[in-house]
A and B are shown apart, each in its own frame.
Chain A
Amino acid sequence: MLEFFRSPAVRVAIAFVVATTVATTGIFGMVYLQIKAADQRSNRLILEDEATKSVNHSVDELKYAFEVRLTHGLRRLDYAALFSADRKVMFGNIDELPRIPVDGKSHFVAASPVPGGDNRMEPAIFVARTRPDGTVLLLGRSLLETLAFRRIVLGALATGLAPMLLLALAIGAFFARRASRRLTTIHDTIASIMKGDMHLRLPVRSQHDAIDKISRDVNLMLDEIMRLLVQIKGVSDNIAHDLRSPLAVVHAQLERGLENSDNEELRAVARQALAHIDKAMLTVAALLRLADVEYGPKSSKFQTIDLSAICADLFEFFEPLATSKSINMALEIQSPVQILGDGDLMREAVSNLIGNAIKFTPEGGSVRVSVAQEDGNPLVRVRDNGIGVEPAERDKIFQRFYRTASGHRVPGSGLGLSIAAAIANLHDFDLRFDDNHPGAVFEMAGRRK
């Protein structure tokens, strides 16, 4: 989850949501404040205008006008009263002059007793103005209605804001997800490429954004690396190719020399040399074999083969070797597990795995070979409880010529697993390593279609 928030795309999305929220709230706030101000201004002006007009009326006229106004609510006057010069109420619906300056301007009174007097209070605005005869005219208006109106406006704005924010959130989340999914895809692809699947390329869409541009550049770079790799491989294959005849010739000449010479010193040297040439021939043969598997067979020539039968056959072949090392060997196969493939090559791949397992398992250990359909995918598993592979070496065991530190004492070309992996790949299988605590598990599993 933390990882999710650390992604730049998610951060951009969050910033987008925050910005949208602030902007929307700001606009709605402005609208509200404008409405509020306009309402307040009109209220004040009406009151002040009324007060000004009323100044020159006689007391009787005022009294009559008040009664009419208050009972009919014309221009929404809620409070009207006339006070004598000594601030005693003469008539009107309010008994006491509120504590406001008598200046003909409207003033806000937070709590004023409601006329009709059941001790309720309400906010109101009042205008007090001195008349020429020294009496004081008081006009007032309740703000209850106005406040209610403002509340409605505020409520309406708030209800509008919520979907806005949700929309912003949804859009932000959508883009963040999309961007982070793209990045995840790119990351996964790079991881696969680093694991050796050099044919993969980063996804490039039709859009021409920054990620696409970088992806394209990376792909071009990969193409170039591939080209160089193929070139290097070609060179090494050619070297192996050209070494074959000289190796065979040297081998033959040394053997001949060995047979025709009585010089024991020379014979000992020749024997050592022969052993080394044997090793070189083994490596060259394995290297060419690898090249053959990588470039040779076409899957169009594949036939239906049964992995169970192949493993049962190899089991029978290898079991005497295991027994001679006091290794307990077991076979677990189900009914036929059929795939399209090359039987010879599959046998070779599995024989590499079983041979390795026996090679790297000490006396008294066990090697189990199993064939199954797991989740509908064919799977060959070779499990041993031998020396296993050091964690630091696990990525490297499929590389050409890689011999583990412990494996160096055991003879071999160092290409067996590379060949097995190449054969697996040819069949759309993956060859994987896992820890058996202790020992190794090699799994050759059909790729999900």
Chain B
Amino acid sequence: MTTSIPLQTILLVEDEKELANEIKIEIERLGYLVRMASIAEAADAARVGDVALLIMDRLVFGEDSLETMEVLRKEGVKVPVLMISALSSVDERIRGLKAGGDDYLSKPFAMAELAARVEALIRRLDDVRTTKLHVGDLEMDLIEQTVHRGSTRIDLLPREFKLLEYFLRHPGQVITRAMLLQDVWHYHFSLETNVVDVHISNLRKKIDIRGGASLIVNIRGAGFMLNDNA
């Protein structure tokens, strides 16, 4: 980050002080400016438009932030919103997403999980018309549904293709196992097994060059990352 570019601002609506403080510390480490706000303050700032992301607890001082978010979306405010909530049921998650939330994180969560999701939302590629994705000499053709590494064609199973596509769309970002489960497999529950790791390792075997550095690296305590400097 150079000093000439102003820091992007993230508004945090969370009434549990200690948790809010930890979230602030964690996200500021990522290079963002975090401001604590009430629901009303957050809504006003979002309308003005100088906010990169809203992090909102569902219940703040007994008030449900869902209604405010619905109002914002109706007004056409497009600021990404990450909802964090004590309400973890499937129904509540769906309600949160329907009301206009972009992601939904249930308490308790690890800060690494929150950080990864914040990055994913802020650096989200809005251009869905992209037909080709690249990293290094790896190229994915979304129309032909093919993957090449240099001139070598790599055959992937449909799910492996989706998995790699997800990484290519989030280059250089930390991707957690929960995010992969949620976005690649559309599973909305936690797993007590390391299935995702096995899928990643299978994918690596196919896309990595023998003896070379791995395109997808493990991030200790958090998840994985596509190495976009490769």
Interface residues of A (CB under 8 A from B): 241, 243-249, 251-253, 255-256, 274, 278, 281-282, 284-286, 288-289, 292-293, 296-297, 301, 316-318, 320-321, 324, 342, 344-345, 347-348, 351, 355, 358-359, 411-413, 416
Contacts and interface: CB of A to CB of B under 8 A. Distances in A.
Nearest to A292: B89
A116 B195 CA distance: 115
A255 B88 contact: no
Given A244-B107, A245-B107, A284-B108, A289 B195 contact: no
Contacts of B191: 351, 355
A344 B188 contact: yes
Contacts of B198: 320-321, 324
In the A-B complex, the 5 residue pairs with the closest CB atoms? A292-B89, A252-B22, A296-B89, A348-B189, A244-B108
Interface string B177-196: 00000000101111111110
Contacts of B25: 252, 256
Interface stretch (B38-46, B60-68, B109-117): B109-117
Contact of B110 (A248, A292, A320, A359): A248
A251 B110 contact: yes
Contacts of A251: 108, 110-111
B187 A351 contact: yes
Interface residues of B, number: 36
Given A347-B189, A351-B191, A245 B91 contact: no
B98 interface: no
A289 B109 contact: no
A248 B16 CA distance: 11
B86 to A, nearest CB: 7
B192 A249 contact: no
Interface of B: 16, 18-19, 22-23, 25-26, 86, 88-92, 106-112, 159, 185, 187-195, 198-199, 201-202, 221
B89 A316 contact: no
A297 B90 contact: yes
Contacts of A296: 89-92
Contacts of A289: 88, 189-190
A87 to B, nearest CB: 119
A249 B25 CA distance: 11
B108 A252 contact: no
Contacts of A256: 22, 25-26
A292 B90 CA distance: 8
Contacts, number: 109
Contacts of B189: 289, 344, 347-348, 351
B19 A245 contact: yes
Given A248-B110, A252-B22, A255-B111, A412 B192 contact: yes
23 contacts: A245-B19, A248-B111, A249-B18, A252-B26, A255-B221, A274-B221, A285-B106, A285-B190, A288-B88, A292-B88, A292-B90, A296-B92, A316-B159, A317-B159, A317-B195, A321-B194, A324-B201, A348-B189, A355-B191, A355-B192, A355-B195, A359-B192, A416-B192
Contacts of A320: 195, 198-199, 202
A11 B120 CA distance: 76
A247 B108 contact: yes
A244 B193 CA distance: 22
B28 to A, nearest CB: 12
Contacts of B22: 248-249, 252-253, 256
A206 to B, nearest CB: 41
B90 A281 contact: no
A359 B90 contact: no
Contacts of A347: 187, 189
B89 to A, nearest CB: 4
A281 to B, nearest CB: 5
Nearest to B21: A249
A244 B89 CA distance: 15
B19 A249 contact: yes
A15 B183 CA distance: 73
Contacts of A344: 90, 187-189
Contacts of B91: 296-297, 301
Contacts of A412: 192
Contacts of B190: 282, 285-286, 289
Nearest to A251: B110
A351 B185 CA distance: 12
B109 A248 contact: yes
A75 B19 CA distance: 123
A292 B207 CA distance: 40
Given A347-B187, A413-B192, A416-B192, A342 B26 contact: no
A293 B201 CA distance: 33
A246 B159 CA distance: 37
Nearest to B185: A317
A347 B181 CA distance: 12
Nearest to A280: B108
B164 to A, nearest CB: 15
A273 to B, nearest CB: 13
B23 to A, nearest CB: 8
Question: Which of A249, A316, A411 gathers the greatest number of chain B CB atoms within 10 Å?
Answer: A249
Contacts of A288: 88, 106
Nearest to B25: A256
Contacts of B109: 248
Contacts of A286: 190
B202 to A, nearest CB: 5
B155 to A, nearest CB: 16
A348 B190 CA distance: 9
A342 B112 contact: no
A163 B23 CA distance: 89
Contacts of A413: 192
A213 B86 CA distance: 46
Contacts of A359: 192-193
